[in-house]
């Protein structure tokens, strides 16, 4: 089961979002409230992990990598 990141939705200017992780099935609906406090929450989109094997792993990155910073990291800055 994947682990999802959620953050509380501040209800005033003085509040800051608090984040937490929750292991959920992909078929379960997103939480709308914090399971302990009941505060409204939203799911945070985050990157995933991909593993390439075979020809995909051996192929060079498109554009030669290093989209602009020159370090070869693949960013486009």
- Structural domain contains residue 23: yes
Domain range for 30: 1-45
Would you say residue 74 lies in a domain?
no
Of 1, 19, 2, 22, the C-alpha closest to 10 is 19
Average pLDDT, the chain: 81
pTM to 2 decimal places = 0.59
- Tokens linked to 57: 């792993």
Q: Is the pLDDT higher at 41 or at 2?
A: 41
Q: What is the pLDDT of residue 44?
A: 93
Digit-coded pLDDT (tens) for 7-44 = 999 999 999 999 999 999 999 999 999 999 999 999 99
In the chain, the number of structural domains is: 1
Pairing of strands 3-8, 19-23: antiparallel
Residue ranges of E strands in 1-77: 3-8, 19-23, 41-44
In a domain, 10, yes or no: yes
The answer to whether residue 54 is domain-embedded is: no
């Amino acid at each position: 089961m994947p682990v999802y990141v959620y953050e509380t939705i501040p209800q005033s200017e003085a509040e800051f979002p608090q984040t937490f992780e929750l292991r959920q099935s992909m078929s379960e609906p997103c939480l709308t409230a914090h399971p302990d406090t009941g505060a409204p929450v939203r799911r945070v989109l985050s990157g995933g992990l991909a593993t390439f094997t075979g020809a995909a792993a051996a192929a060079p990155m498109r554009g030669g990598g290093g989209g602009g910073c020159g370090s070869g990291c693949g960013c486009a800055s």
